[in-house]
Amino acid sequence: MRMVDLIEKKRDGQALTEEEINFFIEGYTKGDIPDYQASSLAMAVYFQDMNEAERAALTMAMVNSGDVIDLSNINGVKVDKHSTGGVGDTTTLVLAPLVAAVGVPVAKMSGRGLGHTGGTIDKLESIEGFHVEISEEKFVKLVNEDKVAVIGQTGNLTPADKKLYGLRDVTGTVNSIPLIASSIMSKKIAAGADAIVLDVKTGNGAFMKTLEDAESLARAMVNIGNNVGRNTMAIISDMGQPLGNAIGNALEVKEAIETLQGQGPKDLTDLVLTLGSQMVVVGGKAQDLAEARTLLENAIADGTALARFKTFIENQDGDGSVVDDVSKLPQAQYQIDYPATKSGVVTEIVANEVGVASMMLGAGRQTKEDDIDLSVGIVLNKKVGDKVKAGESLLTIHSNREQVDDVIEKLNASITISDSGKAPTLIHKVITE
């Protein structure tokens, strides 16, 4: 087989066979196929697309390019959730103990945050003593006993994707549905998921700006999952404004605890219940989404979800008493209100910009080596669609420096107040087929 023949075939709009795709991924991972040929093929795919069989083959070739986590010692259907990334996205912290409380095993491998989107591990580490450096044995034992544990990234997962994603980044070929979908799905499958629930974000704070593009990506991933034997569902949710009220590590843990107590922000609660229902259905613990939702609502109402969060924290050496006393979380020295300059309705809170403002306070990393301040961030007191009077607080800045003029300048440019407006739709679509 010759790489140049594969490139020409795809250039001319023909489908590649599974053998050809394996040849490309194996050769590229080993270094036998050079970057210039791989980038040429990526560009051909960008213009000519891939059919369902090619997408499935590409995904599995990337899965098999490195280590695959074996979760077969964990009982039940291991369901993983993936979000395409957002600002203030606290869902994992709430979902993990919540679906565990109704019996769905959550064996989560998680990462740290980079840029203005926070990482689950960083957030959890704001709880005194909590850590994710546990052995695989302990991880398996905890998930079997209490249905939830989080471990840091281990092994050499999907090296082909790492290499190809890096190449796409500098060759104008990131924005291709078959390449994005196979990239994301390969990582979830390599991490051991039997079933996958996807939260594809749309709006100005998202990777996919339009609903149409988000839906294409969601459908592509659902098809791949189902074609390779992983039950997969997706929702498309709005990421115009940040999710919930809190943006920042410890602030989001507090928000997660409040949500598990049934007192969380409406949008976060809705999203958690929607995604959670899907996880419970694909996890085989309910017949349909309505039954699943009732189970989850009950677990919040009777306190079992919150109790499971406490157990989960204590299992990983954290101070579980934070769930009863959130003042034990790290707190910033200054709380500075940001007032509305005029009366009206909030019509825009640009998620990305608020995320960057929070990063400027120290809540996020600019580079992988940066230290972060777990206590700082932003809490929204108003959301899009809310009425506000001049002088009333729009949000509170939690900072460890007194001077926050740079942050305020950023916020000035990211929030709009107009005469009229309404709250955006949070969940645009549920894709289950």
Stretch that binds Ca ion, among 163-171, 173-181, 224-232, 242-250 (CB under 5 A): 242-250
Per annotation, catalytic residue among 187, 188, 219, 310: 187
Whether 365 sits among the annotated catalytic residues: the reply is: no
> What separation in angstroms does the CA of 43 have from each of 23, 25, 179, 207, 320?
18, 15, 10, 20, 50
The residue among 85, 145, 75, 95 whose CA lies nearest residue 119 is: 85
Q: How far is the CB of 365 from ligand URA (least distance, A)?
A: 18
Q: What residue 244 binds from ligand URA, Ca ion, none (CB within 5 to 8 A, per partner kind)?
A: Ca ion
Taking a C-beta distance cutoff of 8 angstroms, is the pair 390, 204 a contact? no
Instruction: Sheet containing 427-431: give its strands across.
Output: 79-83, 195-202, 231-238, 427-431
- 184 contacts ligand URA (rule: CB under 6 A): yes
- 107 three-state secondary structure: strand
Q: How far is the CB of 255 from Ca ion (least distance, A)?
A: 5
CB neighbour list of residue 42: distance below 8 Å, 6 or more residues apart: 164, 167, 168, 171, 173, 176, 179
Task: Find the binder of ligand URA among 26, 77, 144, 165 (CB under 6 A).
Answer: 165
Q: How many C-beta atoms lie closer than 10 Å to residue 367's C-beta?
A: 7
Whether 112 sits among the annotated catalytic residues: the reply is: no
Per annotation, catalytic residue among 40, 183, 358, 399: 183
Q: How far is the CB of 251 from Ca ion (least distance, A)?
A: 8
Residue 86, sorted as left (phi over 0), alpha (psi -120 to 50) or beta, turns out to be beta
Distance CA 251, CA 204 (A): 23
- 179 contacts ligand URA (rule: CB under 6 A): yes
Distance CA 110, CA 133 (A): 11
Q: What residue 246 binds from ligand URA, Ca ion, none (CB within 5 to 8 A, per partner kind)?
A: Ca ion
Q: What residue 165 binds from ligand URA, Ca ion, none (CB within 5 to 8 A, per partner kind)?
A: ligand URA
Residue 300: both structure tokens together: 């919040």
Stretch that binds ligand URA, among 174-182, 298-306, 315-323, 326-334 (CB under 6 A): 174-182
Distance CA 223, CA 100 (A): 26
Residue 97: both structure tokens together: 């103990």
Task: Find the binder of ligand URA among 22, 29, 158, 183 (CB under 6 A).
Answer: 183
- 198 contacts ligand URA (rule: CB under 6 A): no
Task: Find the binder of ligand URA among 98, 142, 180, 191 (CB under 6 A).
Answer: 180
Q: How far is the CB of 160 from ligand URA (least distance, A)?
A: 12
Whether 188 sits among the annotated catalytic residues: the reply is: no
Instruction: Sheet containing 344-349: give its strands across.
Output: 387-388, 344-349, 415-418
Per annotation, catalytic residue among 89, 161, 267, 373: 161
Near Ca ion in 74-93, by CB under 5 A: 88, 90
Whether 168 sits among the annotated catalytic residues: the reply is: yes
- 162 contacts ligand URA (rule: CB under 6 A): no
3-state helix, strand, coil in the chain (%, to 5): 45, 15, 40
Q: How far is the CB of 118 from Ca ion (least distance, A)?
A: 9
Distance CA 340, CA 412 (A): 10
Near ligand URA in 325-364, by CB under 6 A: none
Residues contributing to the site for Ca ion (CB under 5 A) = 88, 90, 244, 246
Give me the residues that bind ligand URA (CB under 6 A), please: 165, 174, 179-180, 183-184
Positions annotated as catalytic residues are: 82, 161, 168, 183, 187
